Structure 1
Amino acid sequence: MDALFRDYSEDLRRYAYRRLRDREAAADLTQEAFLRYVASRQHERSDARASQFFLWRIAGNLIVDLVRRERRQGRTLPLEHAAMLADAAPLADRSLIARQDFAALKTALDGLPRKTRAALLLNRVEGLTHAEIATRLSISPSMVSKHIMKALRVCLLSLESSDA
């Protein structure tokens, strides 16, 4: 674990600093990422490359959480910070994780019953209301809600299982 910290802590801190533009927050975030990594016990069964990817994913999630928390507390981000968070060229680990998440979601969506999948996609992709979806699928609005909740639950479980 000590070697992992020595190998990646500086790179992880720089990564966090590029996103947050705050040295103190980047240092805190780096420590928090390592603490969460150790707490996950992932290091007991991973090789160095997998550990690096997992650490970067933890850090990315912590950055998003921090930005959301600051937004909720009424702090706004300068425009240049928002541009940094929406990186035009994601790092290789983010691309790999995104592809894995996409594959897991696609498999989950493909396994859903037709109306459940349709209700979710009509709502989340096309932006239709529950009433509009109910009319299209010839079901009640409350049934639309149930279909959407079921689909979201299945998608969430598929993402959680792809992380393991």
Structure 2
Amino acid sequence: MVRRELDTDLLFNRVAQGDERAYGSLVAQYSDQVYAYCLTFTKQAYYAEELTQEVFIRLWTYRHQLTQVESWDSYLYQVSKNAALRFMQRVAKEQQLRQEVFQHFSSQVTSDEPSNHHWLSQIQRAIQALPQRRRRAFMMSRLDGLTHAEIAAELNISPNTVKEHIVQAKKAIRRYLKVYGNLGFLLVLWRLFQ
């Protein structure tokens, strides 16, 4: 046990000094542990993988701070937790923005301006033109705010398939709106469907 602690201390200290080989060893030795931490917070393998990469990038970026760390396991847990919290805040902001934009444009449609009805009907047509399962995945993601895992469970498909449906739906909607839509509105939609 003492030998492992010495090896770990040496490894982290070498990383703090900028040793790239030590950094590679650190990633190899601790990636499963960091992934498990991230999975605990996100509950989704895809996001846990992304966050694991983010954690190790952050470790390298701020490697000079590693000399101050006393407990490596606690430190990795805290860095993983902070990365997950930042991620969840980003997701929440994006969902809030989508909902605000959708509500804003939906409320404008209640006026009698023909242009408002025109662009809303263009969006509805673009969404309706999607294959049924893709359309359903897109609506569940963008309007209901469900995660890929929640959609996957509901539709009985994998989260990667959900992701692919949403990516393809966004591409199809953009193409449709470029052909039939209004350019000013497209600029706003670009952010909504990112």
Q: TM-score range by the shorter chain?
A: 0.3 to 0.5
Larger Rg: 2
TM-score for the superposition, normalised by structure 1: 0.41
- What TM-score results when the alignment is normalised by the length of structure 2? 0.35
